[in-house]
Structure 1
Amino acid sequence: MGTVAGTNKEANGSLLANKKVTVVFVLGGPGSGKGTQCANIVKQFGYTHLSAGDLLRAEQNSGSENGTMIKNMIKEGKIVPAEVTIKLLERAMVESENDKFLIDGFPRNEENRAAFESVTGIEPTFVLFFNCPEEEMEKRLLGRNQGREDDNIETIRKRFKVYLESSLPVIEYYNAKGKVHKIDAAKPVDEVFAAVKAVFA
């Protein structure tokens, strides 16, 4: 597995210009188990887990003007502008002591993907795609009820629709480059992680 994911040559003014990093994109629908598996990868393989959603939620609670805009967009089930998310990801990567990152839930669409590569000068080493049937994801989301205001059936269905329309082209793009590892995420957690481990090993 190549570790030099990007030497950031093309990155004009990227905050990451002096840092060589390995980036793995973790994609999958809401409720496909990305967060659980990322926690396992962190424990076993020493990656730093950056969740685009968590970074956006933290920013939204920070009271900044970006935060208010993010809050309204998330409530509507809309995708936050790429630049905002990329800046948050970049900042987190620069502030981290680590040089191996799992980026979870991003890029959300083709525009995100292109913007991430041009802003940071980084291409992912590979993409981990958690493939899970919609009925299963719906069942999991309604069951977890973590008090997130976007975990109700109406918003969930909106999120599925947005996810399908926007994320699949990203997966297809990287698939054409031979960078996608597709994981059957409907299986029990341990079996899913066994498949994940095989990819990292």
Structure 2
Amino acid sequence: MRIVLLGAPGSGKGTQAENIVKKFGINHLSTGDMLRAEVSEGTPLGLEAKKIMDEGKLVSDEIVLGMVKNHILKSENGFLLDGFPRNINQAEQLDKLLDEINMPIEKVIYFDVPFEVIKERLKSRGRSDDNEDTILKRRKVFEDETFPLVDYFVLQGKLKTINGHGDINEISEEIFKAVDPSL
């Protein structure tokens, strides 16, 4: 099982990722977690990434893809990608990589949640960077960079839109049926 989660910050991806991973026994691949692990383990990719981050720059798609590939190859029972891809270029590179290793994405779950609900969720998390200004900036980045992936994956026939506003368990059940219709 090879799944990608898409949705704005605060749409419920993290909550549902945990439920999906528990239900199906697949690896949860978060690019942020991967990056931190590679750096702390001092891998060649991690050392390269650390140098870039220490300069205050963004880690390139190439480095992130390298890390994603390493973790995907270790994911014998499948994987759930959370936080990647974030834009069309990354999606195209990911598709190419996964085709090369014969492990294409099987399902993309898009969490559709009204912005007012997202705003309330983010504010209630209590994180220092979840203020009105930052929330609006993240929304803009999502709309400009990540939202076009919805059409990208619709055209591939892989996208399932889930109403991410409601009871957590009901949303989980809808996702489970979307990724495994035999349930």
How many pairs were matched up?
Answer: 172
Deviation at 1:167, TM superposition (A): 1.4
**Pick aligned residue for 2:49 from 63, 66, 70:** 66
AA in 2 matched with 1:161: K
Q: What percentage of residue pairs aligned between the two structures are identical?
A: 35
Distance, in Å, in 2 between the alignment partners of 1:174 and 1:151 is 29
Partner of 1:107: 85
Q: Which structure carries more helix by proportion? A: 2
Alignment gaps of 5+ in structure 2: none
CA distance 1:163–1:117, change in 2 (3 Å): same
**Pick aligned residue for 1:126 from 107, 111, 114:** 107
Deviations 1:4-39 (A, max 9, x none): xxxxxxxxxxxxxxxxxx421111110111111111
Deviations 1:68-89 (A, max 9, x none): 5347357xxxxx4321221111
Correspondence 1:45 to 2:12: no
Please give the root-mean-square deviation of Cα atoms over the aligned residues, in Å: 2.3
What pairs with 1:107-186 in structure 2 (closer than 5 Å)?
Answer: 107-121=85-99, 122-146=103-127, 150-186=129-165
Deviation at 1:59, TM superposition (A): 4.6
Deviations 1:63-110 (A, max 9, x none): 834135347357xxxxx43212211111222344x3310101211110
Normalising by structure 1, we get a TM-score of: 0.75
Normalising by structure 2, we get a TM-score of: 0.81
CA distance 1:62–1:70, change in 2 (3 Å): farther
Distance, in Å, in 1 between the alignment partners of 2:113 and 2:32 is 19
Distance, in Å, in 2 between the alignment partners of 1:31 and 1:172 is 21
